[in-house]
Amino acid sequence: EIKGFLFDLDGVIADTAKFHGQAWRQVADKVGTPWTDELAEGLKGISRMDSLQLILEASGQGDVYSDTEKAALAAEKNRNYQTLIATLTQADILPGMKAFITEAKTAGYQLAIASASKNAPLILEHLGLTDYFVGIVDPATLAKGKPDPEIFVRAAEILALPPAQTIGLEDSTSGIEAINAAGATSLGIGEPTVLSAANLNFNSTADVTLEKIAALMGE
Ligand code: G6P
Ligand code: MG
């Protein structure tokens, strides 16, 4: 029986995946990595430093930059990103998600945040959603990022639930893999062909309701 939901943030609750993309694209241009749909997709869900490494490796530059230079590039990306998210408001909650979060909480489900983003607490404040969640996994304390299951295992721990009693919501392939490996039920939001490993799939956040989830789970 499902008793909790583990939410990714960027691209699931907040309309911020586009801002991560824009900010990374500036870095990719700077280091001379061509921007492709595949690269953009692969960047979703993974940590800041893993993202930078992927961008450098995409143009064969994985070992070209020193750790200091990499830290500077990542800091520059984060400054660009923080400028883009500075004006976020409740209007930037993705369609239907405020309603779903409210519906789930009212129905007695426990909610936690499993986002790789160190900006997650700030974004939740901007969106006025902080109080709906029992807790937020601190990504700085993780040994491994998505697709490793650790972040979803930790989010279920925050709720004091076994992962099998939770559903994880994700827009990234790395996140779906992480949810599956944690032993939770994965709910993919986006193109079913991209998120083909998801147990359940919705094309849009606007489609996510308890009733539709129950229908997909065959209850
Ligand atoms: C999320 C996003 C990624 C981002 C990561 C780290 O997982 O989907 O695109 O790279 O968080 O975010 P941060 O805000 O810590 O740089
Ligand atoms: Mg995401």
**For 174-209, how does the pLDDT look when each residue is reduced to its tens digit (9 = 90+)?**
999 999 999 999 999 999 999 999 999 999 999 999
Angle, helices 120-127/67-85, rounded to nearest 10 degrees: 0
Atom of ligand 1 nearest to the CA of 145: 7
Q: Annotated catalytic, 15? A: no
Ligand 1 site, residue 18, Cβ cutoff 6 A: no
pLDDT at 66: 97
Q: How far is the CA of 113 from the centre of ligand 2 (A)?
A: 11
Ligand 1 site, residue 117, Cβ cutoff 6 A: yes
User: What percent of the chain shows pLDDT beyond 70?
Assistant: 100
Ligand 1 site, residue 47, Cβ cutoff 6 A: yes
Distances (CA, A) of 118 to 6, 47, 48, 123, 211: 17, 9, 9, 10, 32
Taken in order 208, 98, 88, 139, the sign of the CA dihedral is negative
Q: Name the residue among 216, 207, 189 with its Cα closest to residue 11.
A: 189
In this prediction, does ipTM exceed 0.85?
Answer: yes
Q: Name the residue among 120, 209, 114 with its Cα closest to residue 159.
A: 114
Q: Annotated catalytic, 67? A: no
Ligand 1 site, residue 119, Cβ cutoff 6 A: yes
pTM: 0.96
The partner residues of 7 in beta bridges, in order of sequence, read 113, 169
